[in-house]
Chains A and B, each alone.
Chain A
Amino acid sequence: MKKVFNIMDKIDNNSIGIVKSNTVEIKQSLKLDCGKTLNNFSLIYETYGRLNSKKSNAILICHALSGDHHAAGYYSAEDKKPGWWDSCIGPGKPFDTNKFFIVSLNNLGGCKGSTGPNSINKETGLEYGPDFPIVTVNDWVNSQKLLADYLEIDKWACVIGGSLGGMQALQWAISYPDKIKNSIIIAAAAKLSAQNIAFNEVARQAIITDPEFHNGRYNDFNVVPRRGLSIARMLGHITYLSDDSMRQKFGRDLREGKLNFGYDIDFQVESYLRYQAQAFVERFDANTYLLMTKALDYFDPAKEYSGDLSRAFKDTKSRFLVVSFTSDWRFSSSKSHEIVKSLIRARKNVSYSEIEANHGHDAFLMPIPEYLKVLRNFMENINE
């Protein structure tokens, strides 16, 4: 009885409810941008809602750096938190599961069930570890295409992502113009700035120089480069928040009400960062973190068009919605402007909204009413 009550409490009419994940083994080989080929790999994914008979109502959700396939709903009544984009996915929500069939996967190279550094390389019988090839956004999109084929989805009604996920939505429109009707690109960029790459490099150095990293073979030594991965996460976390949101959340509040004149925690913000970092170390893999940051750094679809992004968009057929947030300085609005400008130059259908929000880059995960309304209004025009 108690369990049922818990479920009812948490899982209201707007929640997709209890979900489970599936794994598919892809037997086709996938040629990667680095030149290597993956002959066999698994992708773990979840689906929400029902695929209609014409298979025309499918939406792909692409995750960001530390995200995974669990985008909505709960695994059990005991689950403390729903999936990472539960604010947007569910019955009556902007990505409405009453209307759409939503697919969310863990990307290749991830650490949540898809083939990645922690998987066994079937050719050698050993764990990939640091030898797992560095995959790119383009590789991810190609692997997602194979998942679409497996699910017998010929054309996505929409591909959606925030941050690194937005880059995948952008790449989908470029790589498979006939397989995508709409794309929503949130808090993303068509390429990272030097400052952004610099942040990623500091994160990577923190991990790689951790004595427990062992050149990426830490599992062989039954250790985890905890310090490196925590510092990487702390740094990342700071860049995902804004000065304003940190001030509001923590100010200069002291944890024990007084200064300790030592190097342990004085301020609440320090305590928060350490807590977040510890929680992250428990759930994430260092090699995957390295790989994801490289995928971010390498993304530059304009590169093969001599830097002209509008030429990269020339053959796209998708409608685009681009969204940015005022306080996001990691992927600032100017990055979105660049995408919008190039889409207009290529005379593509695009709308752009800059949402007033003080949450920094993390805003794309927040249930900000004006933001949800922009998404909802755009989705309403997508015919099944």
Chain B
Amino acid sequence: MNRKDFKIISDWIEKDSAVLDLGCGDSTLLNYLIINKNISGYGFEKDINKVQDSIKKNINVIQMDFNIGLEKYFEKNFFDYAIMTQALQENENPDHIILDMLRVAGEGIVTFPNMGFWRNRLQLGIFGRMPISNSLPNNWYDTPNIHLCTFNDFENLCKELEITIIEKKVLNTNYVSNFLLKILPNLFGEIAIYRFKKD
């Protein structure tokens, strides 16, 4: 995550709204949204060190695995937004999580690395190795990413789950012209940010 991602997410979020951040890390994003949009919110995080950092920032953080089923915790549409940045691919059931997000929040926002990014395709397709890049820094054997997908895969899943994609922003950690990102996002986009809701 960088400030550019924060800005995009922040622009999508209404002032004074209620936000749930799943896998909130050290709560840098929540903090950013509190400062810029006066949101009230909670982060879920499993890692004790990140929980401690969040508490130090005075952010509401819950040290818990959010795969337990959010609907047990929150009523329908309790939040305005449920956000998950760079964690979708680490979940055992990304499809369940996406639906869960839309049960407890009006809108969902996710960011994830694109397996279909040209460098990843090159490493796998030509060199026959699992891709390692800025957005996928781990080896195949120690990666937390168990459900990687491409932008197209994600969009297909949304269609199957009858989820409407409201907006999409594609980013690249290196320099790539906006033109290429626009015409071939699944090839040139490294990270995408999606904003979606249930019909």
Our verdict on whether A and B bind, yes or no, reads: yes
Chain A interface (Cβ < 8 Å from any Cβ of B): 321, 337, 340-341, 344-345, 347, 349-356, 370, 373-374, 377-378, 380-381
Contact present for B52 and A352 (CB under 8 Å): no
Please determine whether B74 and A354 come into contact, CB atoms closer than 8 angstroms.
no
At the interface, is chain B mostly helix, strand, loop or mixed?
mixed
CB distance from B137 to the nearest CB of A (A): 26
**B-chain residues with CB within 8 Å of residue A321 when the two chains form the complex:** 55
Q: How far is the CA of A381 from the CA of B57 in the complex (A)?
A: 8
Which of B59-67, B82-90, B119-127, B150-158 lies at the interface? B59-67
Q: Which residues of A contact B81 (CB under 8 A)?
A: none
CB-contacts of B25-69 with A (<8 A): 40, 42, 48, 51-56, 58-64
What's the least CB distance linking A85 to chain B, in Å? 20
By a CB distance below 8 angstroms, the chain B residues around A341 are 73
**Does the CB pair B52–A377 fall under 8 Å?**
yes
Question: How long is the Cα–Cα vector from A355 to B64 in the complex, in angstroms?
Answer: 11
Most chain A beta-carbon contacts within 10 A, residue among B54, B64, B75: B64
Contacts of A344 in B (CB 8 A): 42, 62, 73-74
B181 lies within 8 A of chain A by Cβ: no
B18 CB–A CB distance under 8 Å: yes
Known contacts A344-B73, A345-B74; decide if A355 and B48 are in contact (CB<8 Å): yes
Which residues of the partner chain B approach A351 to less than 8 Å between Cβ atoms? 51, 54-55, 59-62
CB of B111, distance to nearest CB on chain A (Å) = 24
Most chain B CB atoms below 10 A, which of A337, A356, A377: A377
Residue numbers in A under 8 Å from B60 (CB-CB): 349-351
Q: Give the interface size class of chain B.
A: 20 to 34
User: Roughly how many angstroms separate A378 CA and B57 CA in the complex, as a whole number?
Assistant: 9
Tell me the nearest residue of chain A to B54, going by C-beta.
Answer: A351
| A374/B74 in contact, CB under 8 A | no
Determine if B58 and A381 form an interchain contact, defined as CB atoms under 8 angstroms apart: yes
Residue contact B73 to A353, C-beta cutoff 8 Å: no
Task: Report B-chain residues with C-beta under 8 Å of the C-beta of A340.
Answer: 62
Query: Are B62 and A378 touching (Cβ within 8 A)?
Result: no
Chain A residues contacting B62 (CB-CB under 8 Å) are: 340, 344, 350-352
A353→B56 CA distance, assembly (Å): 13
Given contacts A349-B60, A352-B63, A353-B63, are A370 and B52 in contact (CB under 8 A)? yes
Q: Quick one: given A351-B62, A353-B63, A374-B51, are A380 and B42 in contact (CB under 8 Å)? A: no
* Closest beta carbon of chain A to B18's beta carbon, Å: 7
Q: How far is the CB of B21 from chain A (nearest CB, A)?
A: 13
Candidate in A349, A353, A354 with the most chain B CB atoms within 10 angstroms? A353
Please, could you name 14 A-B residue pairs with CB atoms under 8 Å apart, sorted by A? A340-B62, A344-B42, A351-B55, A352-B61, A352-B64, A353-B52, A353-B55, A356-B48, A374-B51, A374-B52, A374-B55, A377-B55, A381-B55, A381-B58
- Inter-chain CA distance A347–B80, complex, in Å, is 13
Tell me which residues across on chain A come within 8 A of B78, comparing CB atoms: 345
Determine the distance from Cα of A100 to Cα of B144 in the docked complex, in whole angstroms: 43
